[in-house]
Every structure is written in C-alpha cells, then in structure tokens.
Structure 1
Amino acid sequence: MNILLIGGNGFVGQSLIKELTKCKIEISYLSRTQNHSISKDEATWIQGDIFDLNNIIIKESYDIVIHLIGTIKNKNLYSKLNTESVTETIKLCKKHNINKLVYFSANGGFNHYIESKRNGEKLVVNSKLDYLIVRPGLMYGKERLTSYFNILPIKFFSKLGIPFFKTVYPLPIEKVAASVVEVILNNTDSTIIEINDMK
C-alpha cells in the first residue's frame, strides 16, 4: 500500500507517519516545506503547494490520499484552508487516479470553523471517490507541548455535561492516528470515524 499525505509535515501528519511506518506502508507527504524531523526512511517529501496543482510532480502511484490541511486559529483562512484546499485535493486524486480520500474534519468548535469543515466534508462526499471522514476532537501530544494547556479545563467542563466541551473532547494524537490506520488497514466500509470510535 502506498499513501500520500497532503500537508503531512504538521502535528497530525507526523503521528500518522509514525503509525503507518510501523505497518510497513510506503508513505509520501506533500508540503511547501520539508520537515527535517521526518527521516527519508519514514516518508518521501514531495515539494508542492496544493493550490498550484500544475507544478506538483508526482512520480509514484498511490492507493490513498490523506488530506490534513486546515486551520482553527486563523479565521480569515477557514474557507481557503478548510474547504477550498479539499477541492484541490480532489482534483489531484482524479488527475492521478487515486480512488480513496481520507479527510480530517472536526467534531466541534466555533461555528465558522465547523461550518468550513462541514463544507469540506460535503465536497468529499460528492467527489465520487471512496472516502473516510475523520472527526476528532481536540488533539494533544508531546510533539506540540502547547496542546496540553487546554486539556484539563476542557476535560473538566466536558464532565459537567456542557455540550460544546463534549464535542471537543481531548484525545491523544497517537490514539487518533492508530484508529485511522486501523480502519484503513482493515479496509472496512466505514465512511466516518467519530470521537467515540477513537476513545
């Protein structure tokens, strides 16, 4: 199996690469800049910008694309990074005959953020590709130490039954990555993975 990560040099991408490497899967990641903490033995870097498809050179054939581009911090880029980038990834899949797309969406958060992620989901569902939509909550891990600052208050408020905090339930990034890889390897008919599937 050969998997291409779009935007795979970030927090989630690094964890997925580690998990996929354990399973002896060939991995490449497409990003504008190389992450030097990802070794060549773990994954092949393809330099490129998803918004500049004509200049992306892909020499391998891939079975699955995992779309990881997105932002929660910059509201001005919600539409571009959380939605429009999905359109470009779908074009890339069709151009290179890649039949399955895994899209990292979200389970909760601020209204405009969730709206942009749900719009991305609609594009995936309507793409006519095989797909898997992943809806994690807040993810944390040692590769992003600042991610730990939000965990305790959110876990506290989620136990109080406040709906907003239940939807952003914190999960270790390693657990999210392992759940996604398990679904991919088992080749199930799942089309959506929710927080409860990853707890």
Structure 2
Amino acid sequence: MNILIIGGNGFVGQALIKEFKKYKVEVSYLSRNQNHSISKDKVTWIQGDIFDLDTIIIKKCYDIVIHLIGTIKNKNLYSKLNTESVAQTIKLCQKHNINKLVYFSENGGFKQYLESKLAGERLVRDSKLDYLIVRPGLMYGKGRLTSYFNILPIKFFSKLGITFFKNVYPLPVEKVTESVVKSILDNTDSTIIEIKDMK
C-alpha cells in the first residue's frame, strides 16, 4: 500500500507517518518545504504547493491520499486552507487516478472554522472518490508542546456537558492516528470516524 499525505510535515502528519511505519507502509508527503526531522529513509518528500497542481511531479502510484492542510488560527485563511485546498486535493486524486481520500475535518469549534471544515466535507462526499472523513477534537502530543495548555480546562468543561467543549474533547494525537491507520489497513466500510470511535 502506498500512502500520500498532503501537508504531511506538521504535527498530525508526523504522527501518521510514525504509525504507518510500524506496519511498513510506504509513505510519501507533499509539502512546500521539507521537514528535515523526518528521515529520508522512512518517507519520500514531494515538493509542491497544492494550489499549483501543474508543478507537482508525482512518479509513484498511490492508493490513498490523506489531506491535512488547514488552519484554526488565521480566520482570513479559513476558506483557502480549510476548503479550497480540499478541492485542489480532489483534483490531484483525479489527475493521478487515486481512488481514496482521507480528510481530516473537525468535530466542533468556532462557527466560521467549523463551517469551513464542513464545506470541505461536502466537497469530499460529492467527489465520487472513496473517502474516510476523520472528525477529531483538539489533539495534543509531544510534537506540539503548546497543545497541552488547553487540555485540562476543556476536559473539565466537557464533563459538565457543555456541548461546545464536548465536541472538541481533547485526544492524544497517537490515539487519533492509531484509529485512522487501523481503519485504513483493515479496509473498513466506515466513511466517518468520530471522537467516540477514537477514545
């Protein structure tokens, strides 16, 4: 199995690569810049910008693309990075005959942010590709030490039953990536993975 991760040099991408490599799965990642902390022996880096498809050179055949591009911090880029990048990834899949797309969406969050991620989901569902939509909450882990700061208050408020906090329930990035990789390798019929499936 060959996996291509779009935007794979970030926090979640690195955790996914680590999990896939446990099963000796071939992984490549596409990004504008190479992450030098990722061993060249373990993965293949493809230099490229998803918004400039004509300059992306893909030499291998891939079975699955995993889309990780997105932002929660910059509201001005919600449309471009959380939605338009998904449309570009779908075009890349169609151009290179890649039949399955895994899209990291969101389970909750601020209104504009969540709307941009749900718009990405609609594009995936309408694409006619096989797909898996992943809806994690807040993810934390050693690869992003600042991610630990919000965990305790959010867990506390989620136990009080406040919907907003329940929907962004924090999970270790390793639990999320384990669930996703297991679903892919088991070739399950699931089209959506929710927080409850990853706890």
Matched, 1:107 2:107: yes
Q: Give the letter for the 2:27 counterpart.
A: I
1:46 match: secondary structure: strand
* Structure 1: distance between partners of 2:162 and 2:86: 31
Name the stretch that deviates more: 94-103 or 37-46. 37-46
* Structure 2: distance between partners of 1:182 and 1:101: 15
Partner of 1:74: 74
* Structure 2: distance between partners of 1:191 and 1:161: 27
Partner of 2:18: 18
Deviations 1:13-36 (A, max 9, x none): 000000000011000000000001
* Structure 1: distance between partners of 2:192 and 2:41: 31
Partner of 1:158: 158
Deviations 1:97-131 (A, max 9, x none): 00000000000000000000000000000000000
Q: Give the letter for the 2:129 counterpart.
A: L
Q: Post-superposition shift, 1:11?
A: 0.4
Partner of 2:174: 174
- Identity across aligned pairs (percent)? 82
* Structure 1: distance between partners of 2:120 and 2:87: 8
Q: Post-superposition shift, 1:40?
A: 1.0
* Structure 1: distance between partners of 2:42 and 2:26: 8
Runs (4+) of structure 1 moved beyond 2 Å?
A: none
* Structure 2: distance between partners of 1:188 and 1:157: 33
Q: Give the letter for the 1:98 counterpart.
A: I
Partner of 2:36: 36
* Structure 2: distance between partners of 1:39 and 1:119: 34
Paired residues, number: 199
Q: Post-superposition shift, 1:173?
A: 0.2
1:34 match: secondary structure: coil
* Structure 2: distance between partners of 1:129 and 1:71: 24
Q: Post-superposition shift, 1:42?
A: 1.8
Deviations 1:114-165 (A, max 9, x none): 0000000000000000000000000000010000000000001111111100
User: 1:5·1:67 contact (CA, 8 Å) conserved in 2?
Assistant: yes
* Structure 2: distance between partners of 1:155 and 1:42: 35
* Structure 1: distance between partners of 2:144 and 2:181: 21
Partner of 2:97: 97
Q: Which runs of 5+ in 1 are unaligned?
A: none
RMSD after superposition: 0.4
* Structure 2: distance between partners of 1:126 and 1:28: 26
Q: Which runs of 5+ in 2 are unaligned?
A: none
Q: Give the letter for the 1:25 counterpart.
A: V
